Chains A and B, each alone.
Chain A
Amino acid sequence: MVPISYYIILSAVLFGLGVIGFVFKRNIITIFMSIELMLNAVNLAFVAFSREFNQLDGLVFVFFVIVVAAAEAAVGLAIVMVIARNRKSLNVEDVNLLKF
Chain B
Amino acid sequence: MSVPLLVFIACGALAILGAIGLILAREPVHSALSLILVMIALAVLYLLLGAAFIAAIQILVYGGAIMVLFVFVIMLLNAGEEVRTNLSHLARWAGIPLAVFFLLEVAYSMVREYGSRAAMAAGGSAAAPVPASTTELSLKLFTDFVLPFELTSILILIAVLGAIVLAKKES
Is B166 on the interface with A (CB-CB < 8 A)?
A: yes
**Closest residue of B by beta carbon distance from A6:** B8
**Closest residue of B by beta carbon distance from A44:** B42
Is chain A's binding surface mostly helix, strand, loop or mixed?
A: helix
**Closest CB of chain A to B40's CB: distance in Å?**
11
- Which residues of the other chain, A, contact B129 by a CB distance below 8 angstroms? 51-52, 54
**Closest residue of B by beta carbon distance from A2:** B8
Question: Is the pair A33, B42 in contact by a Cβ cutoff of 8 Å?
Answer: no
Q: How many of chain B's residues touch chain A, expressed as a range?
A: 35 or more
A59-B53, A81-B73 known; A75+B163 contact, CB < 8 A? yes
What sequence of 0s and 1s flags, for each residue 1-15 of chain B, a beta carbon within 8 Å of any chain A beta carbon? 010110010001001
In the complex, what distance in Å separates the CA atom of A81 from the CA atom of B74?
10
- Which residues of the other chain, B, contact A63 by a CB distance below 8 angstroms? 54, 57, 137, 141
Q: Which residue in B32, B95, B160 is a CB contact (below 8 Å) of A74?
A: B160
In the complex, what distance in Å separates the CA atom of A44 from the CA atom of B48?
11
Q: A51-B49, A78-B163 are in contact. List 13 more A-B contacts (CB 8 A).
A: A10-B15, A14-B19, A17-B20, A20-B23, A24-B91, A27-B28, A30-B31, A47-B46, A51-B132, A59-B137, A78-B164, A81-B77, A93-B85
List chain B positions with a Cβ less than 8 A from chain A.
Answer: 2, 4-5, 8, 12, 15-16, 19-20, 22-23, 28, 31-32, 35, 38-39, 42, 45-46, 48-51, 53-54, 57-58, 61-62, 65-66, 69-70, 73-74, 76-77, 79, 82-85, 87, 91, 95, 99, 102-103, 106-107, 110-111, 113-114, 117, 127, 129-130, 132, 136-137, 140-141, 144-145, 148, 152, 155-156, 158-160, 162-164, 166-167
In the complex, 17 of the A-B residue pairs with CB atoms within 8 angstroms, ordered by the A residue number, are: A5-B114, A7-B45, A10-B12, A16-B102, A16-B103, A33-B35, A60-B140, A63-B57, A68-B155, A69-B61, A70-B66, A77-B70, A77-B163, A78-B166, A80-B73, A81-B77, A82-B166
